[in-house]
Structure 1
Amino acid sequence: MDVLAQGDLRLLDDEVARRLLASTELARLAYVAADGTPRVFPMLFHWTGEEVVMSTFAGARKIAALRARPDVAVTIDSAGPPPEVLLLRGRMEVTDVEGVVPEYASAQRRYAGEEQAAAGIAEIDGPGLRMARLALRPSWVGVLDFHTRYPGGTTAGEFQKRGR
């Protein structure tokens, strides 16, 4: 069995990656803020099959920070046991949108269900609504499942000896 190296984009087809991309786990977006310090922000997301799309409302400070420094990391993970982790890296593309970002609506439906999503979207959708579409097309992918893939590329035996 060939094991894909961490970083290989084909890991997006891994069972763990597919499960996490379809889940209601939060994505954690890591970026560098305008003051040069790191930030991690939990966000709803939608996987298009090519991009992890998150949304925010116009005026959010992260918009300018992401435009200035678009290199980001994202993790989507489950607590387990054992934990399952999808790690993504790439450049975030920020697009201004008048009205509701379509992927925001899709994410709301997945996380909250049709009825609650419709009510929430109706509450915000009105004249003058401006949002930003934050799209990450991964350039690096990592998967940790603690069965076949461990941090640092270690084996199960090596992982058991950690710290010794």
Structure 2
Amino acid sequence: MRAVRLSVVTAAATAAAVAAVTGCTEKSDASSDDHVVEVTATDSKCEVSKKEFPAGHVQLDVTNKGSKVTEVYLLFPDDRIVTERENIGPGTRQKVTAEVKAGAYRIACKPGMKGQGIRQDVTVTGGGTAAKRDPRLDAAVAAYRQYAQEQADATLPKAKVFADAVKAGDIEGAKKAYATSRIGW
């Protein structure tokens, strides 16, 4: 029982640390008009207010004027996701901010959250300023990554015991292994 309590306490402490340092980050420069791209999504269109904007932090200000829930993505030309916002309901607005370097990108709206979406090519110009990394955030992420790995390392062998018992038809063995196979998560 102590391991369960310790895991919960560790998870709560890590979440609190991440929340605390997140409040300390710098505000982005995306609120300037140069860095705001208005995206109007409908069931058949994805309109962007500008096809060219400067590098740095960019804010997509998305309005869904369609009848379906939509998603909006900022993509590299090879379809890797730079940033995304999902579950934008009809008649609602959402904002998403990303840091982008000069180059070619695509903005995609996915009405009904299906398929490849309706795409608009956009160009990011200039060198732009890269966001400064906060070492406290890096430390919080590293601590959480270590915690998650430790939990996985401790849980997976116990889950295997449970799964092996189920596969073998050993119901009593599976019952005995079930609770301990869930300790980390």
Larger Rg: 2
Q: Taking structure 1 as the reference length, what is the TM-score of the superposition?
A: 0.28
- Larger RCO: 1 or 2 (CA < 8 Å, sep 6+): 1
Q: Taking structure 2 as the reference length, what is the TM-score of the superposition?
A: 0.26
Please state which structure has a larger fraction of its residues in helix. 2
